[in-house]
Structure 1
């Protein structure tokens, strides 16, 4: 994959994240390929099934603060803070997206609760 394609995937992910963070879950209809594959336990594969699931999940109502993005070839990695309504510290999340022809075809994630700041002197994010 060329650096132009890497940057295109990075920008698609950034734009999609920004729209989703603003509450526009409809962006997923164009961003995810119909045969989208989900690797996170409990989340369904397939664009329509995934969208139906994620729009009811806490992430759709959470405040999302993007901290960093790394892109290489078809992969875009996003590290962010997710704070659900009523939470104080939230979770540190890392999403890995694989793009193909301008759409997301696969997703993996890692989610970790943010502990009391005193237990992580160098911070988590």
Structure 2
């Protein structure tokens, strides 16, 4: 298995465990000095895990649609549906991976519009 496949499998496995309710999986995936690039989210493994544990994503239904990987980055594209939100939001996460650990994270989040506004869908 090449490095891109290894990183892709690492992220998919972690995503599936997180989506099933295992927030603590992040402690094994993130390096200690993890860097977060999203506004309002803390850097550092422990601070990030504590933050995410109480964030809407922790209680949402996550439906993974695609994963793209190379030797350094893994990109996930999925539907996040928090409780009480009928449509949900489209999310793209970009994970930087080095030596089997996630070192950095970026994301783009967009609420799904009415289906009539996007005839080809967003996901």
TM-score, length basis structure 1? 0.97
* Deviation of 1:18 (Å): 0.2
Match of residue 77 from structure 2? 79
Aligned length: 123
Unaligned runs of 5+ in 2: none
TM-score, length basis structure 2? 0.99
Out of 83, 93, 96, which is 2:94 matched to?
96
- Measure the CA separation in 1 of the matches of 2:91 and 2:58: 14
1:49-106 residue CA offsets vs partner (Å, 9 max, x unmatched): 0000000000000000000000011100000000000000010000000001000000
- Measure the CA separation in 2 of the matches of 1:83 and 1:71: 24
Unaligned runs of 5+ in 1: none
Instruction: List, as ranges, runs of 4+ consecutive aligned residues in structure 1 with deviation greater than 2 Å.
Output: none
Residues 3 and 70 of structure 2 are in contact (CA less than 8 Å); yes or no, is this contact kept in structure 1?
no
- Measure the CA separation in 2 of the matches of 1:100 and 1:111: 24
